[in-house]
C-alpha cells in the first residue's frame, strides 16, 4: 500500500468512474486501474464492484475509505509542517548577546530577520559573555554573540569570529571637541569626567584593566549605568565614555575620537554548541548575523573616518 494507490482509490470512490478519476489525477486510465488492482491484491479483497455504468464500493471499500482519507490527510499535514520549517514559516530562535551588542548589531539583525521571516519566534537574552556561555551550555540558547575568548578554550562550543571592533572615546556633539587631534591618549582620558558602565559589563572589565595596567585612576562622575543611559548622559554633556565604535552609527548627538597609547579593541564572535545540528531558523539567523556584521563593519569604518 502506498500514497499513490490510496489517492487513486479515493478518487475512484468519489467519482464512481475510473476514467474521470484518472483525469483528475492526470494519469492514464490503465495506470490507475493497475494501481487499484495492486491495492486490492495487497489487501486481499475487492474494493469496487465494476459495472458498465460505473464503479461502486464494496463493503471492504466502504471500510477502507475513511481510513484512506485520514492517512492522506496525515501525509499532507506532515508535508505541510516540513515545508513550513524549510521555508521558515514556523520555528523559534533563542539568541543571546551582550548589552553593547543589543543596541547595535543585534538591533540591525533582528530588523532584517523579522522582515524576511515574520512568523519565526525570537527570544533574546541580554547578559555578559560568561553568563551567555552558561545559558548556551545549559541548552537555553541556540546562538550567543559574545566578546570574550573563553568559549574558544572549550570543545563544547563552535565559535566563529565575526569582526574586530575598536573602542573609542565619545563626547557630546554640542560640546567642544575633547582634543584637537584625531586621537586621545588614555592618560588624558583619565583626567576627563567619565560616565562608567556597570561592573557586569565585559567592556567595564576591559577598560578597568587598561587603566590599571597604565597606573591610572579614571575620574568617574557617574558609575554603574547601562548602555542606553551611558549614551544619553554623554549626549547631555555630563562626561565622556569609552564605548565600542559600532554604537555610534546613526547617533548624530555623539562625537568620537580614537583612543591611543594604548589602542583598545574587542573581538566579536558567535558561539553555538558544537556537534549538534542547528534548526533551519537558527542556521538562517547565523547567516543573517554574519552578513549584517560585515555591513556594519563597513559603516563603522566610514563613521570613524568622518569623525
Confidence of residue 34 (pLDDT cuts 50, 70, 90): very high
Q: Are residues 142 and 71 part of one domain?
A: no
Q: Are residues 183 and 72 part of one domain?
A: no
Confidence of residue 153 (pLDDT cuts 50, 70, 90): low
- Taken in order 194, 200, 204, 210, the sign of the CA dihedral is positive
Residue that terminates a domain, selected from 59, 86, 113: 86
CATH number, domain at 63? 1.10.10.10
Domain that holds residue 55: 3-86
Rounded to an integer, what distance in angstroms lies between the CA atom of residue 16 and that of residue 10? 10
pLDDT at 307 over 60: no
| Mean of pLDDT values over 89-118 | 90
Per-residue pLDDT at 84: 66
Q: Are residues 17 and 144 part of one domain?
A: no
Residues pairing with 290 in the sheet: none
In the chain, % of residues over pLDDT 90: 62
Rounded to an integer, what distance in angstroms lies between the CA atom of residue 236 and that of residue 254? 10
Number of domains within the chain: 2
pLDDT at 286 over 80: yes
Per-residue pLDDT at 77: 78
| Mean of pLDDT values over 92-100 | 92
Which is nearest to 193 in space by CA: 149, 225, 223, 154?
Answer: 223
Q: Are residues 221 and 81 part of one domain?
A: no
Residue that terminates a domain, selected from 51, 86, 121: 86
Q: Are residues 30 and 139 part of one domain?
A: no
pLDDT digits over 36-74, tens only?
A: 999 999 999 999 999 888 899 999 999 999 999 999 988
Q: Are residues 124 and 81 part of one domain?
A: no
Per-residue pLDDT at 296: 81
CATH number, domain at 273? 3.40.190.290
Q: Are residues 136 and 14 part of one domain?
A: no
pLDDT at 175 over 80: yes
pLDDT digits over 208-262, tens only?
A: 999 999 999 999 999 988 888 999 999 999 999 999 988 887 788 999 999 988 9
Q: Are residues 285 and 271 part of one domain?
A: yes
Per-residue pLDDT at 150: 56
Q: Are residues 287 and 232 part of one domain?
A: yes
In this prediction the pTM is 0.69
Rounded to an integer, what distance in angstroms lies between the CA atom of residue 242 and that of residue 195? 8
Per-residue pLDDT at 247: 84
Q: Are residues 293 and 168 part of one domain?
A: yes
pLDDT digits over 183-202, tens only?
A: 999 999 999 999 999 888 88
Residue that terminates a domain, selected from 86, 113, 129: 86
Q: Are residues 151 and 117 part of one domain?
A: yes
Q: Are residues 150 and 19 part of one domain?
A: no
Amino acid at each position: 500500500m502506498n500514497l499513490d494507490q490510496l489517492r487513486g482509490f479515493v478518487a475512484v470512490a468519489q467519482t464512481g468512474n475510473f476514467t474521470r478519476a484518472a483525469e483528475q489525477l492526470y494519469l492514464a486510465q490503465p495506470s490507475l486501474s493497475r494501481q487499484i488492482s495492486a491495492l486490492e491484491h495487497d489487501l486481499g479483497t475487492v474494493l469496487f464492484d465494476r459495472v458498465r455504468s460505473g464503479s461502486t464500493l464494496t463493503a471492504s471499500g466502504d471500510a477502507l475509505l475513511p481510513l484512506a482519507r485520514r492517512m492522506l490527510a496525515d501525509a499532507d499535514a506532515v508535508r505541510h509542517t516540513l515545508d513550513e520549517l524549510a521555508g521558515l514559516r514556523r520555528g523559534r530562535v533563542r539568541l543571546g548577546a551582550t548589552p553593547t551588542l543589543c543596541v547595535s548589531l543585534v538591533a540591525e539583525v533582528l530588523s532584517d530577520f523579522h522582515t524576511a521571516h515574520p512568523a519565526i519566534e525570537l527570544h533574546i537574552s541580554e547578559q555578559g559573555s560568561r553568563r551567555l556561555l552558561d545559558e548556551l551550555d545549559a541548552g537555553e540558547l541556540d546562538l550567543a554573540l559574545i566578546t570574550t575568548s573563553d568559549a574558544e578554550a572549550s570543545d563544547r562550543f563552535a565559535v566563529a569570529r565575526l569582526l574586530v571592533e575598536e573602542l573609542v572615546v565619545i563626547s557630546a556633539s554640542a560640546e567642544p571637541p575633547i582634543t584637537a587631534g584625531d586621537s586621545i591618549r588614555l592618560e588624558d582620558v583619565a583626567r576627563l569626567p567619565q560616565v562608567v558602565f556597570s561592573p557586569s559589563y565585559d567592556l567595564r572589565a576591559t577598560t578597568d584593566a587598561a587603566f590599571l595596567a597604565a597606573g591610572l585612576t579614571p575620574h568617574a562622575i557617574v558609575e554603574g549605568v547601562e548602555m542606553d543611559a551611558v549614551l544619553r548622559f554623554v549626549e547631555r554633556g555630563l562626561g565622556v565614555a569609552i564605548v565600542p565604535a559600532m554604537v555610534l552609527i546613526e547617533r548624530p548627538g555623539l562625537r568620537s575620537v580614537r583612543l591611543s597609547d594604548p589602542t583598545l579593541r574587542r573581538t566579536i564572535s558567535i558561539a553555538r554548541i558544537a556537534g549538534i545540528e542547528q534548526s533551519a531558523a537558527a542556521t538562517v539567523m547565523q547567516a543573517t548575523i554574519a552578513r549584517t556584521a560585515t555591513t556594519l563593519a563597513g559603516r563603522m569604518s566610514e563613521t570613524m573616518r568622518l569623525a
